[in-house]
Amino acid sequence: MSDTRHDWSLAEIRSLYALPFNDLMFQAQTVHRAHFDPNQVQVSTLLSIKTGACPEDCGYCSQSARHDTELEREKLLPLGEVISAAKAAREKGASRFCMGAAWRNPTDRNLDRVVEMIEAVQALGMQTCVTLGMLSEPQAQRLREAGLDYYNHNLDTSPEFYGNVITTRTFQDRLDTLAHVRGAGINVCCGGILGMGETGEDRARLLQELANLPEHPQSVPINLLVQVEGTPLHGAEQLDPLEFVRSIAVARILMPTSHVRLSAGRTDMSDEMQALCFLAGANSIFYGERLLTTENPAADHDRQLFQRLGIRTEQASPEAEQAACSGA
Ligand code: SAM
Ligand code: DTB
Ligand code: SF4
């Protein structure tokens, strides 16, 4: 029988969170092993293709024009720079290249430029992902036609806590964009951020919303807030690391066939905490020194950690790479 469900009740999710830690980990690991190679992790590298001066007011974000952060704004990067960054990421072993832009939504002209980037990255044999803010239905269709593999758009937090974090777009706006992306047949990458001062109930509600979407997002990034000076959420109360691990385990159980990504915030995690996250069912990370505007662990450090844990990574497709080299 398939264990993919879209009708998780809050009571069920609360009882998963309330399990003794070892029982929760055992259940998560059992589900994980039924669907994935337990020693394989997918790695994606991020690049900010347009940085800062964003009109939205997301309380965690270094890139909002409304917060007084030290960040230098940058216009949309030239295609050549994007290709060089993607090649470097591929050489370091990333199989997916994710391009992020600090937009409320892209204009159709913006999209023309992003489509060129997607096509160029694909030609290198890498999977492509973009995160550009809200999308209309025709825009999602356009990205699909360009061959985009994944679109990232997060719910960020529970519908109840949402208004404490963002006021310039609604939770429903996010659901609408996700419907456009899903409807166009693009894989959905959708998750949230923990450690923003939300309650345990909010974390359970976020995971419930994700798991009860019409289809589980193929990729579920679970970010730990990176506290950026000058943002309203700087100074938020630190989350208990074990509560973060529990959230990964619950996400794994609720969405058995999704890649659960241990996302932002790894520089604040010990190797041991990350190992627990992999045991809880995380099977994807962001790889490379930089996330979008903040730091990520050094690639060397991650490679060593993987070696210590006996973890292998999914590789970029060699066939597509050969085709790109021979000009096919
Ligand atoms: N502007 C687009 C948008 O918001 O949809 C795309 C880029 S935005 C930076 C992508 C996601 O990164 C956000 O939805 C949020 O979940 C995550 N993020 C941003 N800043 C973060 C931070 N300081 N800590 C953790 N996650 C963060
Ligand atoms: C996601 O959920 N996390 C990534 C990606 N999707 C685009 C972004 C993390 C950003 C962390 C803060 C920064 O570097 O600006
Ligand atoms: Fe803008 Fe995205 Fe940052 Fe929100 S998360 S301020 S939309 S870049």
The answer to whether residue 96 scores a pLDDT higher than 70 is: yes
Q: What is the pLDDT of residue 321?
A: 43
CA distance 193 to 157: 6
Q: Is 190 a catalytic residue?
A: no
In 3D space, the residue among 3, 2, 38, 8 whose CA is nearest the CA of residue 213 turns out to be: 8
Indicate if 98 belongs to the active site.
yes
Instruction: Give me ligand 3 centre to Cα 58, in Å.
Output: 6
Query: How does pLDDT run across 156-187, given as a tens digit for each residue?
Result: 999 999 999 999 999 999 999 999 999 999 99
Q: Which is more confidently placed, 3 or 81?
A: 81
Mean pLDDT of the chain: 92
**Percentage, residues of the chain above pLDDT 70:** 95
Q: What is the pLDDT of residue 316?
A: 62
pLDDT at 325 over 90: no
Mean pLDDT value across residues 179-201:
97
CA of 297 to the centre of ligand 3 (A): 22
Q: Catalytic annotation on 54?
A: yes
Residue 325 annotated in active site: no
Active-site residue (options: 90, 96, 113, 129):
129
Backbone φ and ψ of 189, nearest 5°: -115, 110
Q: Catalytic annotation on 189? A: yes
Q: Which atom of ligand 2 is nearest to the CA of 228?
A: 12
CA of 60 from ligand 2 middle (Å) equals 10
Quickly state the pLDDT bin for 328 (edges 50, 70, 90).
very low
Of 173, 131, 170, give the one whose Cα is nearest residue 152: 131
Among 47-61, 66-80, 271-285, the minimum mean pLDDT is found in 66-80
Cβ–ligand 3 distance for 233 under 6 Å, the answer: no
Pairwise pLDDT comparison (2 vs 170), residue with the higher score: 170
Which of these, 245, 187, 236, lies nearest to 216 by C-alpha position? Answer: 187
Whether the CB-CB separation of 41 and 283 falls below 8 Å is answered with yes
C-alpha gyration radius of the chain:
19
Instruction: Give 125 Cα–ligand 1 centroid separation in angstroms.
Output: 26
- Per-residue pLDDT for 27 more than 50? yes
Question: Hey, what are 235's tokens?
Answer: 């100074």
Sign of the torsion angle spanned by Cα atoms 147, 286, 38, 93: positive
Residue-wise pLDDT for 4-17, tens only, equals 889 999 999 999 99
Please tell me the distance from the alpha carbon of residue 242 to that of residue 21, in angstroms, as a whole number: 9
CA distance 327 to 76: 27
Helices 171-183/137-145 angle, 10° precision = 40
Helix, strand, coil: what percent of the chain each, to 5? 40, 15, 45
Ligand whose nearest atom lies closest to the CA of 224:
1
Average pLDDT over residues 86-108: 92
| Residue ranges of E strands in the chain | 40-50, 96-101, 127-131, 150-152, 187-189, 192-194, 219-224, 259-262, 284-286, 312-313
The pLDDT score that the predictor gives to residue 326 is: 39
pLDDT at position 261: 97
H-state helical runs in 36-135: 79-91, 108-122
Within a 10 A sphere around the Cβ of 318, how many other Cβ atoms?
Answer: 9
Regarding the beta carbon of 54 and ligand 3, being less than 6 Å apart is answered yes
Query: Which residue is catalytic, options 113, 174, 246, 261?
Result: 261
Q: What is the pLDDT of residue 121?
A: 95
Among protein residues, the one with the nearest Cα to ligand 2's atom 2 is 221
Output 107 or 2, whichever has higher pLDDT.
107
Confidence of residue 26 (pLDDT cuts 50, 70, 90): very high
Paired sense of beta strands 127-131 and 187-189, if any: unpaired
Note if 277 is an active site residue: no
The answer to whether the pTM exceeds 0.85 is yes
pLDDT of 194 above 90: yes
Look at ligand 2, atom 15, and give the residue with the nearest C-alpha. 293
Nearest atom in ligand 1 to the alpha carbon of residue 191 is 16
Which helix (DSSP H) or strand (DSSP E) does residue 324 occupy?
helix 318-325
Quickly state the pLDDT bin for 2 (edges 50, 70, 90): low
CA–chain centroid gap for 175, Å, is 16
Q: Of 90, 88, 149, 39, give the one whose Cα is nearest residue 316.
A: 90
pLDDT-derived band of residue 253, with 50, 70 and 90 as boundaries?
very high
The predicted pLDDT at position 93 comes to 81
At residue 281, the 3 state secondary structure works out as coil
pLDDT band, very low/low/confident/very high, at 31 (cuts 50, 70, 90)? very high
Residue 130, beta-bridge partner list: 99, 151
